[in-house]
A and B are shown apart, each in its own frame.
Chain A
C-alpha cells in the first residue's frame, strides 16, 4: 500500500511527464491550473492518465473544485 507521500510524488511525476515540464519543478501545494497552464478539459485528460496509472476510477465529482496536487493525491489515496 502506498503512503500519501508516495502517491503525491507519483502524481507529480506523471503530471510533469504528461505536460512536459521538468521533473522536480512541481510541488504538492502547486495550483496545477496555473503551474501547468492547463484548462479544465486538459485536467480531465490528466485525471484519465492518473486513473490508468493507479488502476482506480475517480468520479468527476471527487475532483470538483480541486486545484492543487496534494488534494488531488489525497482524493486518489482514498480510493486505493
Chain B
C-alpha cells in the first residue's frame, strides 16, 4: 500500500499506484458469463492517458468539473482517473435518476464535461428541456455508442484521444476533489464538496481495518457514484494494487457466479441485497432433509462458539465448506452500507463464518464514521469510531440518547452553493448527522432512529419528503404535505421507514375511493423507492410562514398529537 501521508491528492496517489503495481491486474469486467476485459495497472494507464491528454488539449482546465453518469464498469474508473490527472473535480451522479433529475444536478454542479454511456445518453438527450437548462455542459463523451448512432452533438469516448503525454496537474489536500450528491433534486440539491484530504484520510482509516493488497479481489456492485464504492471499489484497492471486478448485469444468478469464478475477497452490498442473500441461503438450508439439517445446525453452532471472540476464516471455511464454496472460498468480509442493517441478518452471516462489516456513515462525513472491528463481532451496534474520527452524542436524554455529531479530517467542506444548509449541518466544526445514537460501555455506537425529516431505504437511497411533493401538485384537496412517518412519531428504529401524505381536505370534502385512486396513480409515477405508504387526514389549516410556505416542523408537531395506529391510512 502507498503511504498516503506523502500525498496531496487522489490523482497523485493513483498516478504512483499505476506505476508501482503496473503488472498487477487492476480491473476485470464481465457481462453475464462472458469476461469482456482484463486490465493490468499498466493497461489502465495506457487507456487513461490519451483521454486525459484530449481533455487538456480541448476543453478542460484545472479545477473544471467533469461529471460521470455510468453503470459500474472500467470506463467509469478510467474517466475518473483522467479527470483527476488533468486537475479536474469529479461529479459522480447516480445513473438511476431520471434524465430530468440528472440534468438538474448537472446544472447545479456546474460540470463542463459529461461522460456517460450510450443507453443513458439516449435518454438524457431525449429530455430536451433538461438539456437546455444546463448549458454549462459543453462537452459530452459517450461510451459504447453503436456505429450508426446519432449522438446529437456528443462525441464518442473511444475516439476522444490526445497524442503524447498529458501533463499531470498537482492539487493540494484542501482543494476540491469531488462533488457528491447525498440526496435531493428538489428545491435544494445537496452537493457535498469533498476535498482530496477527505478521501486520503478516509482511505487510511478504512484500510487499517480492512486491508487491500495485490491478489485481493473486490466485487463492485454498489454504484460507483456512491461514496462507499468510490472508496472501496476504486481508490482503496487501487492504492494497494488490488483487483476490482465489474459486472455489466446485476442479475442475482450472475452475481452468484462471479463470487466463485473470481474468488472474491470483499464485496459491498446494501441491506436489501444482503437480506435477499440471507433468504436464499435460508431457503437452501430449509430444503435439507431433516437429518442433514440437524447436522448442519450443529456445525453452525460449533462455528459460532469457536468464533465468539474473533473471526477464524480458515476454520469456518473448513467447517462450513458447502456454504463457503459457492462464495468462492476466499470471501473475507461483506461490507454493508448505505442504510441500516438488521442485527439478525448480520448475526446470520457471522454464524456461517462470513463476517459482515456493518458500520455507519454519511456522504457528508466522507463515507464511514464507525465500523465494526470484529473484535469481537457485535450485531447490535454499528461499531466503534474509525481512527481519526471524534464522535459525540449531543444533548443526551436520561437514557443517553442524543444526536450523533462527528469531527474529523474526512468531513466535507460544505454543500455546494448552500451556505445556510452548510451552517445547519456543520456547527463549530462538528457535523450534525441528524441521527440519534448512544455509546455503550465499551465504546460501540448504537443507533435509534432519525431526528430529521427524511428516510433511508434498504437500497441506501436518502429521500427528503419535500423532493417528491411535485407529483401531488394540483391534487384536489385544500393542502397537502409529505413527511417521514418516523419524524412525526419517533419509533426509535432505523428500519421500516415510511413516507406519508398529510392531507387537509376542502370543507365538506371526504376521503373517497376516487381521491385514494388519484393519489395511487400519482404515487405510481414515482420511482418505487420514493413512494408514499399512506395518508393522514388533518382537519385544520396547515401552519404557514408570512410568505405562505408550510411550517413543516410546526405541522409535524401537530400531527404527532394524532394516534399513529388510527390516523395512518395505508394506500
| A residues apposed to B, CB below 8 Å | 31, 33-34, 39-41, 44-45, 47-48, 57, 59-62, 64-65, 67
Neighbouring A residues of B253 by C-beta, 8 Å = 48
B527–A31 touching, CB < 8 Å: no
Chain A min CB distance to B87 (Å): 31
A47–B251 touching, CB < 8 Å: yes
Chain A min CB distance to B284 (Å): 16
B98–A65 touching, CB < 8 Å: yes
Known: A41-B273, A67-B524. A61 touches B71 (CB 8 A): yes
Per-residue interface assignment for chain B, residues 475 to 489, with 1 indicating a CB less than 8 Å from any chain A CB and 0 otherwise: 000000000000000
Separation of A59 and B529 alpha carbons in the complex (Å) = 21
A45–B459 touching, CB < 8 Å: no
Neighbouring B residues of A44 by C-beta, 8 Å = 250-252
B252–A60 touching, CB < 8 Å: no
B229 within 8 Å of A by Cβ?
no
Separation of A4 and B251 alpha carbons in the complex (Å) = 25
Residue of B whose beta carbon sits closest to that of A47: B251
Chain A min CB distance to B275 (Å): 9
Per-residue interface assignment for chain B, residues 331 to 348, with 1 indicating a CB less than 8 Å from any chain A CB and 0 otherwise: 000000000000000000
A34–B524 touching, CB < 8 Å: yes
Per-residue interface assignment for chain B, residues 507 to 530, with 1 indicating a CB less than 8 Å from any chain A CB and 0 otherwise: 000000000000000001001110
Chain B min CB distance to A12 (Å): 17
Known: A45-B251, A60-B250, A61-B117. A33 touches B528 (CB 8 A): yes
Neighbouring B residues of A47 by C-beta, 8 Å = 251
Neighbouring A residues of B251 by C-beta, 8 Å = 44-45, 47-48, 60
Q: Which of B98, B119, B273 contacts A62 (CB 8 A)?
A: B119
Residue of B whose beta carbon sits closest to that of A58: B249
List, sorted by A's number, 18 A–B pairs whose CB atoms are closer than 8 Å: A39-B272, A39-B528, A40-B459, A41-B252, A41-B272, A47-B251, A48-B252, A59-B249, A60-B71, A60-B249, A60-B250, A61-B71, A61-B117, A61-B119, A62-B119, A65-B98, A65-B527, A67-B528
Chain A min CB distance to B202 (Å): 28
Q: Which of A57, A60, A61, A65 has the most CB of B within 10 A?
A: A61
Neighbouring B residues of A67 by C-beta, 8 Å = 524, 528
Neighbouring B residues of A65 by C-beta, 8 Å = 98, 527
Q: Number of contacting residues on B, CB 8 A?
A: 22
Per-residue interface assignment for chain B, residues 435 to 474, with 1 indicating a CB less than 8 Å from any chain A CB and 0 otherwise: 0000000000000000000000001000000000000000
B276 within 8 Å of A by Cβ?
yes
Residue of A whose beta carbon sits closest to that of B247: A60
B96 within 8 Å of A by Cβ?
yes
Residue of B whose beta carbon sits closest to that of A68: B524
Known: A59-B119, A60-B71, A64-B96. A40 touches B32 (CB 8 A): no
Q: Which of B95, B120, B251, B252 has the most CB of A within 10 A?
A: B251
Per-residue interface assignment for chain B, residues 1 to 35, with 1 indicating a CB less than 8 Å from any chain A CB and 0 otherwise: 00000000000000000000000000000001000
- Please name the 3 residue pairs, one residue from A and one from B, whose CB atoms are nearest each other, closest first: A61-B119, A33-B528, A31-B524
Q: Which of B32, B95, B98, B276 contacts A41 (CB 8 A)?
A: B276
Per-residue interface assignment for chain B, residues 90 to 131, with 1 indicating a CB less than 8 Å from any chain A CB and 0 otherwise: 000001101000000000000000000101100000000000
Neighbouring A residues of B98 by C-beta, 8 Å = 65
Known: A40-B459, A57-B32, A60-B71. A45 touches B252 (CB 8 A): yes
Residue of A whose beta carbon sits closest to that of B95: A64
Neighbouring A residues of B528 by C-beta, 8 Å = 33-34, 39-40, 67
Residue of B whose beta carbon sits closest to that of A38: B528
Question: Using a CB-CB cutoff of 8 Å, which residues 248-284 of chain B contact chain A?
Answer: 248-253, 272-273, 276
Chain A min CB distance to B388 (Å): 35
Separation of A60 and B223 alpha carbons in the complex (Å) = 14
B120–A61 touching, CB < 8 Å: yes
Residue of A whose beta carbon sits closest to that of B97: A65
Chain B min CB distance to A58 (Å): 9
Chain B min CB distance to A14 (Å): 16
Chain A min CB distance to B109 (Å): 22
Neighbouring A residues of B95 by C-beta, 8 Å = 64
Q: A45-B252, A61-B117 are in contact. List 5 more A-B contacts (CB 8 A).
A: A40-B528, A41-B273, A59-B119, A60-B250, A65-B98
